[in-house]
C-alpha cells in the first residue's frame, strides 16, 4: 500500500540526489513572530535527527521579508503572501507552511472566555477609536444578558510590521467600509492615539494579561499556549464561532488554495457555517537563485523534513497542517530553486 509519506518521499527522491555537506552547521531564518513557536518546534526536533541548527529570529513579517530580499537569511517568514509581481521582481519563491487564525482576545473582569460576542463591524469601531466603552450600545446589542462594565476599552495593538496586523486589517477592510476608507490593509496601521502599541506577539499576550478591560488580536497558538480569553466572532454565514482547527480548515476548504494553489488569496471572511472569519496562512519566502548552494539546500532539506515528518509538531503548537495535495505542490515549487548558473539544486533526503 502506498502511504502519503512514501508518495511524497518518492517525489523528492525523483528530483533530488545531492546530499547536504556536513559543514553546514546553522541555517538562518527570520520573520513572523506568530509562527515562531512552530519553526522553533520544528527546529528543535530536526536538530535531534542530526540536522543543522535552524536559527530563527522572530522579527515580525515585514522585517523577515526585508531580510530575505536583502539576502541576509536563508529564509524569511511572513503571515501574508507576497504578490506574484513582487516575487517575480525580487526573484523569490514562497510557499505556505501551515494555517492558523487571528483571534480577538480580552481581559474583561466578570466575563469568561467565549461568552462575549463580537462582529467585524464592532471590532472595526473599537480599533478605530470610535467605540470607547465596554457598555457601548453596539456591544450590548450583541450580548443581551451579559453585564458589561461601564469602563474604558483598553485597546492593545502591534506597533511593528506584522502579518497578524495585515490579516486582521484585511478582514476589517472587508466587513467595514469605514475601516477600509480610513486604514485599509497593511502590515502597519496609523493607530488611534488611545491604543497601547507594543512589538511582537509575546508582548501582546503579556500586556493583555496585566491590563484589565483590554482587548487585542493575536494568533491562535498564543491564545492556547498563554491561556488567553477570547471572544466569539460572527462569520460570513451569520454564525458566532470559536477559533479552532476545524474552523480554520473550513476557511481553507472554501478557498482556491486546494484547487489552484492560489496562495495569494486571503483566507479572511470566507463562506461556511463553521468557518473562522480571520483565518490566515503563514509562509516561507526564499531566494529563487541561491547565494550559497549548501546553505539554501540545507534550508530546503529542513522544510522537506518538516512536511514529511513534522505533522505532530504542527498540531502541538496549535497550527493546522496543510493537506497532502498542497504539500505536493510545495515540493514542486521548491524544485525551481537554482544555483547562480541556473542549475536546479539537488539534495538527498534521508528521513530518520
Domains and CATH numbers, the chain: 4-100+280-334 (3.40.190.10), 101-279 (3.40.190.10)
d(CA 15, CA 25): 24
Phi-psi domain of 176 (left: phi exceeds 0; alpha: psi -120 through 50; beta: other): beta
C-alpha grid cell, residue 339:
544555483
What does the pLDDT read at residue 263? 86
d(CA 291, CA 72): 10
Q: Residue 262 — φ and ψ, nearest 5°?
A: -85, 80
What does the pLDDT read at residue 348? 57
Contact between 218 and 102 under an 8 Å Cβ cutoff? The reply is yes
C-alpha grid cell, residue 84:
506574484
pTM: 0.88
* β-strand pairing of 196-198 with 240-241: unpaired
Residue 4: HSE in the Cβ half-sphere, 13 Å Cα cutoff: 11
Q: Vertex 214, ends 205 and 107: CA angle to 5°?
A: 70
What does the pLDDT read at residue 7? 44
Reduced 3-state DSSP string for 30-97: EECCCCHHHHHHHHHHHHCCCCCEEEEECCCHHHHHHHHHCCCCCEEEECCCCCHHHHHHHCEEEEEE
* Farthest-apart Cα atoms in the chain, separation: 68
C-alpha grid cell, residue 338:
537554482
Helix or strand or coil: residue 268? strand
What does the pLDDT read at residue 11? 46
What does the pLDDT read at residue 349? 53
What does the pLDDT read at residue 15? 44
Where do the H-state alpha helices sit in the chain?
A: 4-15, 36-47, 61-69, 84-90, 120-127, 137-142, 163-175, 177-182, 201-209, 220-225, 245-253, 257-260, 293-309, 311-316, 324-334
- In order along its 352 residues, the chain shows pLDDT tens digits of 334 444 444 444 444 433 444 467 899 999 999 999 999 999 999 999 988 999 999 999 999 999 999 999 999 999 999 999 999 999 999 999 999 999 999 999 999 999 999 999 999 999 999 999 999 999 999 999 999 999 999 999 999 999 999 999 999 999 999 999 999 999 999 999 999 999 999 999 999 999 999 999 999 999 999 999 999 999 999 999 999 999 999 999 999 887 777 888 999 999 999 999 999 999 999 999 999 999 999 999 999 999 988 888 998 899 999 988 888 888 888 889 999 989 988 765 554 4
Q: Vertex 328, ends 324 and 331: CA angle to 5°?
A: 135
CB atoms within 10 A of CB 17: 11
The DSSP 8-state label assigned to residue 23 in this structure reads T
* β-strand pairing of 53-57 with 26-31: parallel
Nearest one of 306, 310, 293, 300 to 332, comparing CA atoms: 300
CB atoms within 10 A of CB 105: 26
Amino acid at each position: 500500500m502506498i502511504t502519503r509519506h512514501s508518495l511524497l518521499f518518492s517525489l523528492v527522491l525523483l528530483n533530488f540526489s545531492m546530499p547536504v555537506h556536513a559543514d553546514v552547521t546553522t541555517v538562518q531564518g527570520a520573520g513572523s513572530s506568530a509562527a515562531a513557536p512552530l519553526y522553533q518546534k520544528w527546529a528543535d526536533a530536526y536538530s535531534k535527527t542530526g540536522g543543522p541548527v535552524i536559527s530563527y529570529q522572530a522579527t515580525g513579517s515585514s522585517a523577515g521579508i526585508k531580510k530575505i530580499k536583502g539576502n541576509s537569511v536563508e529564509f524569511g517568514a511572513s503571515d501574508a503572501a507576497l504578490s506574484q509581481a513582487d516575487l517575480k521582481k525580487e526573484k523569490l519563491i514562497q510557499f505556505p507552511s501551515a494555517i492558523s487564525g487571528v483571534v480577538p482576545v480580552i481581559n474583561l473582569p466578570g466575563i469568561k472566555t467565549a461568552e462575549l460576542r463580537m462582529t467585524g463591524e464592532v471590532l472595526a469601531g473599537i480599533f478605530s477609536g470610535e467605540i470607547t466603552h465596554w457598555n457601548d450600545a453596539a456591544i450590548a446589542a450583541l450580548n443581551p444578558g451579559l453585564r458589561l462594565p461601564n469602563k474604558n476599552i483598553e485597546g492593545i495593538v502591534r506597533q511593528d510590521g506584522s502579518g497578524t496586523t495585515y490579516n486582521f486589517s484585511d478582514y476589517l477592510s472587508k466587513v467595514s467600509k469605514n475601516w477600509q476608507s480610513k486604514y485599509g490593509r497593511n502590515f502597519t496601521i496609523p493607530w488611534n492615539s488611545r491604543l497601547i502599541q507594543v512589538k511582537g506577539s509575546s508582548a501582546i499576550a503579556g500586556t493583555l494579561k496585566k491590563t484589565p478591560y483590554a482587548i487585542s488580536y493575536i494568533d491562535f497558538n498564543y491564545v492556547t499556549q498563554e491561556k488567553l480569553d477570547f471572544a466569539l466572532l460572527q462569520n460570513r454565514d451569520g454564525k458566532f464561532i470559536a477559533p479552532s482547527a476545524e474552523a480554520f480548515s473550513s476557511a481553507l476548504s472554501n478557498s482556491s488554495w486546494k484547487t489552484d494553489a492560489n496562495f495569494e488569496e486571503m483566507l479572511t471572511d470566507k463562506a461556511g457555517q463553521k468557518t473562522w472569519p480571520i483565518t490566515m496562512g503563514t509562509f516561507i519566502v526564499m531566494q529563487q537563485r541561491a547565494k550559497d548552494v549548501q546553505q539554501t539546500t540545507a534550508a530546503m532539506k529542513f522544510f522537506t523534513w518538516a512536511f514529511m515528518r513534522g505533522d505532530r509538531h504542527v498540531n502541538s503548537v496549535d497550527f493546522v497542517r496543510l493537506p497532502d495535495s498542497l504539500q505536493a505542490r510545495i515540493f514542486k515549487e521548491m524544485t525551481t530553486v537554482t544555483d547562480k548558473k541556473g542549475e536546479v539544486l539537488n539534495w538527498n533526503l534521508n528521513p530518520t
